[in-house]
Structures are given as structure tokens and as C-alpha cells.
Amino acid sequence: MSERLIRTLALAEVGQLIDWAGTEGWNPGLDDAAAFRASDPEGFIGAFVDGEMVAGIAAVAYGPSYGFIGLYISRAGMRGQGHGKAVWDAGMARLAGRTIGLDGVDEQFENYRRKGFAPAYRTIRFGGVFAGAPVERRDLRVVTSELLPQVMAFDRRSFPAAREAFLARWLAMPHLACVTTSQGAVTGYGVVRKCREGWKIGGLSALDDATAVALVAHLASSVEGEVFIDVPAARQQFIDLLTHAGLRPGFETTRMYRGEPIPLAPEVFGVTTLELG
């Protein structure tokens, strides 16, 4: 076998890895690469043989104490040759000393547990044509550059580390981001983006179920076709409202952590992205 090279991915190569995720049926967004890479330009690692990428992983460091593993894929036809293990080892070494999170599919649950990851909570993907009526709320508006610092501050209530570079791109076009406010303070925000299939809402953070539903209804009514959202299974009242509006459960994952576990924040109603947390 030719010599294997492990190195950081360029932007186009991050896009290639996301395309692989689409082939695997993970349904990533059409414009994810630039926002993903902005989260940590050194956090995307690939294995190369004869100049061709054969495996990749996201090992994104959110500061000195938290990191996230995702987009862990070996190219079809190149599996079983140690390339996946090589990028895994490189990613874990990069995040050493941090609490590390991931969203694992059921088929890999025991594998991740053997690697030291413990389950925290289940996430259920709901999808379909949203049949609920938009909620009339005068406090709901599109995120602007003036609102961005407040949204970033609100995001820190639900995410364990700052992620300003990522959010600056994630909350901008072509994504649609909306926010609710009360007396000038942010009470929730949500983002919808075009994916290989339909649209995904995520993240979705709010102070209460009513605000979360208002955001979903507004975002879903702003696009055409099916919408999907990855919801923590503990959000039963919110889930009841989604199912009443026509969304149905499907794909499930388990949030797992290696290191100090991070409790599910009460503001989280929709995971930003299973690839980056």
C-alpha cells in the first residue's frame, strides 16, 4: 500500500468530506463547508493516499476545554485499511485534554463507548411538511448585524463554548436566521438552511416551548418543502407540538461525551448540526 499522509483539509476538501456525508444519507446543507471550517480552520483532518483523500474527520476545538467530533467517514472502497482509525487517532490527539462530544448513530454506539464516550441524551430527527400556521409575534424578526452580538451572547446559554466565527457565517445568508426579543433582550433564535433534501432547522434555542414553536413555524413558512429538525428527546411538550403540526420522527442519534459530561441546556430545542454539535 502507498504511504498514507495525514493533514489538515483545505476548504474544498472540507466540501468533499461533506459531499461524502451526503452520499452516506446524512443530508448536510448545501453551503455548510465555509461555515464549518470557520469554526476551526485546523479542525478538519484527512488521510490521503497517492494524493487522494480516503478518510476524513472533523475534530473541532471550541477553546481549551471543549471539542467535537463529526464527519467521521472513510471513502467507499477504501475501508478496512486503517485509514479511518488514522484520522480518528489524529482527531482525538488534537482534542486531547478537552471534554469531547459527538452525536453517534446506534450502529456505532458500542464502538464509541469502548473508546471512552458515555451517553448523555437521545436526539430524534423530525421531518415533513410543517402544517402549523405561522405564529403572529411582533417580537420576531430577522437577525441583523446589529443583533448579532446579542444572539452570540444568548448562544452561550446553550452551547458550552464561544463560537463567534462559526455563528457569524451560520446566521448570515444564504441561511435564514430569526430571533425573538423581549424588552430588547434576545429570548430565542433559529436558523434554517437548504440541504440535499428539504431544509434543516438548527440551531434552535429559546427560553420556552412557545417561543421555540413560534420560531419553527416562522422558519418553516419561509421555505418550500420538507423541513427537518434534530430535537433532544427530553423536549416532550415541544415534540408534541411538532407532531401536531405534521412532523414525524425518524433518524435517531445519541449525544455522547468523553470527559466531563455537559448537561442538556434548557434553552436547546434543536441541535445546530450533528456534525459540529
- Total number of domains in the chain: 2
Domain that holds residue 11: 4-120
82 and 209 assigned to the same domain = no
89 and 29 assigned to the same domain = yes
Residue where a domain terminates, one of 85, 120, 155: 120
8 Å CB contact between 29 and 194: yes
Residue where a domain terminates, one of 105, 120, 135: 120
C-alpha separations of 179 from 10, 75, 99, 150, 218 in Å: 32, 39, 30, 10, 10
Distance CA 262, CA 248 (A): 28
Whether residue 277 is contained in a domain is answered as: no
| pLDDT tens for the 277 residues of the chain, in order | 578 999 999 999 999 999 999 998 899 999 999 999 999 999 999 999 999 999 999 999 999 999 999 999 998 877 778 899 999 999 999 999 999 999 999 999 999 999 999 999 999 999 999 998 776 777 888 999 999 999 999 999 999 999 999 999 999 989 999 898 888 899 999 999 999 999 999 999 999 999 999 999 999 999 999 999 999 999 999 999 999 999 999 999 999 999 999 999 999 999 999 999 9
42 and 167 assigned to the same domain = no
176 and 235 assigned to the same domain = yes
**Backbone torsion region of residue 161, taken as left when φ is above 0, otherwise alpha when ψ lies between -120 and 50, otherwise beta:** beta
152 and 68 assigned to the same domain = no
Residue where a domain terminates, one of 71, 96, 120: 120
| Half-sphere exposure for 38 (CA within 13 Å, toward CB) | 16
| Predicted local confidence at residue 1, as pLDDT | 56
179 and 95 assigned to the same domain = no
Whether residue 150 is contained in a domain is answered as: yes
Can you name the residues that pair with 258 across neighbouring β-strands? 100
Whether residue 276 is contained in a domain is answered as: no
